[in-house]
Amino acid sequence: MTRKVSESQITMTELVLPNHTNQLGKLLGGQLMHWIDICAALCASKHNQRVCVTASVDRIDFLHSINLGDVVTLTASLNRVFNTSMEVGVKVFAESFKEGIKVHTNTAYLTFVSVDTSGRPVKAIESVPETPEEKRRYEEALQRRENRLKNRTKTN
């Protein structure tokens, strides 16, 4: 069974409220990571039609801060399926409706594992990249996976 990458994409929108910010009125990094993890998990689960659990967070780049009152849009897309695992990329944008400014603030890469009802890994549904961007992300995901596995053997 296969599924198109476009069929699994998830978009979430969040409003940055006071309880999401630090003393400077900036979105807490941990809050953003929470939203990123949820958005990516929904994408992986939608793709596989089953529960998928976070296996690793490869990296999260913080390019710009996000302010109290900003609207945060997170878009998750499945980059590549391996066997039971898959890489999901998340792009984050912050928008100030008041100022009319929208900026790309973060990029994140996460790995998820598709599991059965007992929590055991199961084969994930293969993804089919169609657009040039999806094909580029598909190739880059393999490079990140190889680096992740290489770094894992160095620490063991």
CATH code for the domain of 39: 3.10.129.10
- What is the token pair recorded at 30? 């941990």
66 by Cβ neighbours in 10 Å (0-12 / 13-18 / 19+) ranks as: buried
Amino acid found at 38: I
Profile the chain (156 residues) by mean pLDDT over runs of 10 residues: 95 98 97 98 97 92 95 98 96 96 96 96 96 95 88 68
- One DSSP character per residue, 51-102 reads -EEEEEEEEEEE-S--BTT-EEEEEEEEEEE-SSEEEEEEEEEEEETTTTEE
The domain containing residue 20 runs over which residues?
A: 2-155
- What is the token pair recorded at 63? 């390019």
> According to the model, what pLDDT value does residue 147 have?
87
Number of structural domains in the chain? 1
Provide the whole-model pTM.
0.92
> According to the model, what pLDDT value does residue 155 have?
62
- One DSSP character per residue, 116-142 reads -TTS-B-PPPEEE--SHHHHHHHHHHH
Widest pairwise Cα distance in the chain = 50
